[in-house]
Amino acid sequence: MANDYYATLGIARDAGPDEVKKAYRRLARELHPDVNPDPGTQERFKEITQAYEVLSDPKKREMYDLGADPFARGGGPGGFGPGAGFQFSDIVDAFFGTASARGPRSRARRGRNATLRVELDLAESAFGTTRELSIDTAVTCTSCQGEGTAPGTHPDTCDTCNGRGEVQQVQRSFLGQVMTARPCPQCGGFGSVIRNPCPECAGDGRVRSRRNVKVKIPAGVENGIHIQLAGEGEVGPGGGPPGDLFLEIVERPHPIFERDGDDLHCTVEIPMTAGALGTTVTVETLDGAEDVDIKPGTQAGQVITMYGRGVRHLNESGRGDLNIHVNVETPGHLDEEQEELLRRLAKLRGEERPPGKFAPGQRGVFSRLRDVFNQH
């Protein structure tokens, strides 16, 4: 024999089919042109591929063991150009078993996911709610029950591929004969043909319909969060399983509260006298109106925190806080009596000509940039 294929693959003459395949895969990974670009390995890759084609085929191997080399006459025309009628991936598929492992594919496929925007008030986001949503989506065709055929009929086995879903071709290359598999052009790889499509769904197995879904929205959701409802999306073609439904939460602005995570913020304005003497104000909360004490001497910008009056924590116990920012109003447009009273108060407190209290202000961006440049 001109070629010792067993030595080429590094296996014994009594090696089984699995050993032949394992040896070839190991060598192919080392010598594949995409992995090892060295020109010297290309010829070696051709040799192991030719050896594998002979030893993996029972008839060719028997012929070789009897002393006849199937490639003794040089095989067929080589090359990977258009004239060869196949691609290099065909050879890899044939040797690694990917081409012959396709088989007929199912018409049933998983449906697509759907997204629905849900607008909520702040109270609904904070405490949770239940909504009945109307969804326009794909549902299983009731006429054919997802099969896609007219009533009383069923898909017929494809005459071209005999139900395999693929057709095989034997082509010759510089490596010899290579068998490739392609999806059947007649049935599209399904292995069956729908000759009488369902008139309701045109063979798709599903139709568009509007349905209602009752969903429970948990407490603590916020703007932009997505809630996944498994199996509530579109039904797949051919009666396939449905995808998922995602609810995108859109929180409407509140006229009083501004939300920061699970905390809430609002502002209350009080007159200067109330800030100085103290008072009680009624504040609207998510739980209803509540009285809040303003202590004497409260300054503008002071924050009063009402613990546990914010939004419930998502998937946790407890709630955030409500922060009340106090704004002390300075009176304007005083009449003579009011102005006289304030002057007397200023005199009693020694504040007729106050010296003022100064503190460092916030530094602007140009000052910070100047300091950066001065450091270099």
pLDDT for 80: 35
User: Are residue 234 and residue 280 in the same domain, yes or no?
Assistant: no
pLDDT for 338: 86
User: Are residue 230 and residue 120 in the same domain, yes or no?
Assistant: yes
pLDDT for 239: 82
* CA distances from residue 338 to 86, 277, 345, 349, 352 in whole angstroms, order as listed: 100, 17, 11, 17, 16
For residue 27, being part of any structural domain is answered with yes
Q: Would the pTM count as exceeding 0.85?
A: no
pLDDT for 122: 96
Question: Is 141 among the annotated ligand-binding positions?
Answer: yes
Question: Is 266 among the annotated ligand-binding positions?
Answer: no
CATH code of the domain covering residue 298: 2.60.260.20
Domain of 9, in residue numbers: 5-74
User: Are residue 230 and residue 316 in the same domain, yes or no?
Assistant: no
User: Are residue 232 and residue 341 in the same domain, yes or no?
Assistant: no
Question: Is 144 among the annotated ligand-binding positions?
Answer: yes
pLDDT in tens, 359-374: 665 555 445 545 544 5
Given the structure tokens 């904070």, which residue do they identify? 126
Domain count, the chain: 3
For residue 374, being part of any structural domain is answered with no
pLDDT for 77: 34
DSSP assignment string, 166-209: EEEEEEEETTEEEEEEEE-TTTTTSSEE-SSB-TTTTTSSEEEE
User: Are residue 269 and residue 329 in the same domain, yes or no?
Assistant: yes
User: Are residue 137 and residue 240 in the same domain, yes or no?
Assistant: yes
Question: Is 201 among the annotated ligand-binding positions?
Answer: yes
* CA distances from residue 293 to 226, 276, 279, 309 in whole angstroms, order as listed: 39, 13, 6, 16
pLDDT for 124: 95
For residue 287, being part of any structural domain is answered with yes
User: Are residue 68 and residue 126 in the same domain, yes or no?
Assistant: no
Q: Which of 211, 229, 251 is the last residue of a domain?
A: 251
Nearest to 221, CA basis, from 122, 117, 113: 122
User: Are residue 232 and residue 323 in the same domain, yes or no?
Assistant: no
pLDDT for 217: 93
Q: What residues of the chain score a pLDDT lower than 50?
A: 1, 73-91, 93-101, 365-366, 369, 372-373, 376
pLDDT for 131: 93
